[in-house]
Amino acid sequence: MRSGLIYTLILLFAFSFGSQGQETDSTRVNPKKLVYKLNIMQNIMPATWRQTKQAFQEADSLKADLFLIHMNTYGGTVIDADSIRTKILNSPIPVYVFIDNNAASAGALISIACDSIFMRRGGSIGAATVVNQTGQQMPDKYQSYMRSTMRATAEAHGGDTIISGQDTTFRWFRDPQIAEAMVDERVYIPGIIDTGKVLTFTPSEAMKHGYCQGIANSVPEVLEMAGVKDYELVEYRPTFLEKIIGFLVNPMVSGLLIMAILGGIYFEMQTPGIGFPLIIALAAAFAYFAPLYLEGLAANWEIMIFIVGLILIALEIFVIPGFGVAGLLGITLSFTGLVLSLIDNINFDFDGVHPDKILTALTTVIVALFGGFMLSLVISKKLFTANSGAFKNLSLHSTQEKEQGFVGVDTSFIHLVGKTGTAYTVLRPSGKVKIDGKIYDAVSSLGMIDRGDEVVVIRTESAQLYVEKTS
């Protein structure tokens, strides 16, 4: 009896709890859709791929319902576009793209990877032939890769695919052959494209053939056409680091950093020990190369060329007397490393580099080095002047005059001038002589002197004896 009562109470509690839950579900207001928007309004480059990864991570953390790409690009690097394409295809969040005028080349590849494509009137999509920076077509091995990538991307959205909104249903088939025709001018598709032309679609043509799901003039119109009416829009904002990188890769800033590198090295050589100027030079070198490396411009070997050049210059200054091969080679390597880091070359292949880019890099480095050298001279006079410089206490205030008995060479050999001795070794022209029972290094001032010949000291220069035969 008691157990039956307990069982009845449990059933009543479960029923009331279930009813309460159903009431809550029926009266709960549907939350807004979260739409995450990424703007791609520049050429596709390493920075675009880096920002795309950050955007997808943030969209995933916010549990976004839709990822929208707002695009206007003429193309860019195939490697970065392919990385973005793969990210889109593997995204658990539906990805739409709004082509705001242009989706050419790499932009077309990214767009085709998206679940839905919307275009502005007057826009275009296509022309995905792989070209270098001068606009010339790359060899067929590059075109072959792009053709297969475009086909595979279209096939990923092939078949009767349906996307249903609140009021709109999209049904389309993306023909892989059309995607290939955007790359290869040899592809012939009756009624669409003839041979000898690379395919580019207008919005109406793209809609007709399944490569566009709607024509809109703004992002709100795109979302309305997609059936997303009650939504919250979150837009990707570049991180502080991205803004810093964008600032540092500016050619003018790169030139200033080169000036700081040169100035730091110059002032470090003017002061004893290792100090603040060297820290400035190292910091400037890091600020110069790090963003260029992240942007895919500076390769590892280009940075190593610069470092090896600096090492050779240091050896020439501090280890090897005079200035010769090591110094010239060091200057050449350092200059080459700075220039190549500003150029988007692949190893020593410059076929895809526009001449203007090379000229800009050369001008930036040459002007920066010359300006840095001149500025270093001016600043050194301002800062280290004995009477008025800001750092006058770090410079010498007195001058050792010759009239006061100061000389810059060893004078201990002066008393040997006029003395005679014998050649201790053969002098060709240098060797050793014996004078007053002591052996000295000496140089023959005229011809070879055999061992044992009598010699006389005719002069001394920089602690060096100069002798000649007495007869």
Task: Return the pLDDT at 15.
Answer: 40
For the chain, what is the mean pLDDT?
Answer: 80
Determine the average pLDDT of the residues in 139-162: 82
Characterise 299 by phi-psi region: left (phi > 0), alpha (psi -120 to 50), beta (else): beta
Task: Return the pLDDT at 25.
Answer: 39
Q: With the C-alpha atoms ordered 314, 315, 318, 323, is the resulting torsion angle positive or negative?
A: negative
pLDDT in tens, 53-103: 999 999 999 999 999 999 999 998 888 899 999 999 999 999 999 999 999
194 versus 172: the higher-pLDDT residue is 194
Give yes or no: residues 198 and 306 share one domain: no
124 versus 257: the higher-pLDDT residue is 124
* Residue 5 within any structural domain of the chain: no
Pairing mode, strands 464-469 and 454-461: antiparallel
Task: Point out the domain boundary residue: 235, 268, 294.
Answer: 235
Alpha carbon 170 to its chain centroid, in Å, reads 41
pLDDT category of residue 380 using cuts at 50, 70 and 90: low
Give yes or no: residues 109 and 155 share one domain: yes
* Residue 4 within any structural domain of the chain: no
Q: Which two tokens stand for residue 8?
A: 């009845």
Give yes or no: residues 77 and 222 share one domain: yes
C-beta of residue 78 within 8 angstroms of C-beta of residue 106: yes
Provide the H-helix boundaries in 271-299. 276-294
* Residue 23 within any structural domain of the chain: no
Give yes or no: residues 320 and 258 share one domain: yes
Task: Point out the domain boundary residue: 174, 202, 235.
Answer: 235
Give yes or no: residues 266 and 344 share one domain: yes
pLDDT at 401 over 70: no
Q: What is the CATH number of the domain that holds 151?
A: 3.90.226.10
Give yes or no: residues 348 and 411 share one domain: no
Give yes or no: residues 63 and 183 share one domain: yes
Q: How many domains does the chain have?
A: 3
* Residue 378 within any structural domain of the chain: yes
- Stretch among 32-46, 136-150, 352-366, 376-390 having the lowest mean pLDDT: 376-390
pLDDT at 158 over 80: no
Give me the count of residues in the chain.
471
Task: Point out the domain boundary residue: 235, 262, 290.
Answer: 235
Task: Return the pLDDT at 8.
Answer: 43
* Residue 18 within any structural domain of the chain: no
pLDDT category of residue 301 using cuts at 50, 70 and 90: confident
Determine the average pLDDT of the residues in 279-303: 83
Determine the average pLDDT of the residues in 16-24: 40
186 versus 276: the higher-pLDDT residue is 186
pLDDT at 204 over 80: yes
Task: Return the pLDDT at 290.
Answer: 85
pLDDT in tens, 160-192: 444 444 444 444 578 999 999 999 999 999 999
Give yes or no: residues 381 and 464 share one domain: no
Q: What is the CATH number of the domain that holds 437?
A: 2.40.50.140
* Residue 7 within any structural domain of the chain: no
* Residue 86 within any structural domain of the chain: yes
pTM attached to this predicted model: 0.61
Give yes or no: residues 209 and 299 share one domain: no
Domain extent, residue 157, equals 29-235
Give yes or no: residues 280 and 250 share one domain: yes
Q: Which two tokens stand for residue 61?
A: 């953390």
Give yes or no: residues 248 and 285 share one domain: yes
**Rounded CA separation 310/300 (Å):** 16
* Residue 357 within any structural domain of the chain: yes
Give yes or no: residues 288 and 160 share one domain: no
Task: Return the pLDDT at 16.
Answer: 42
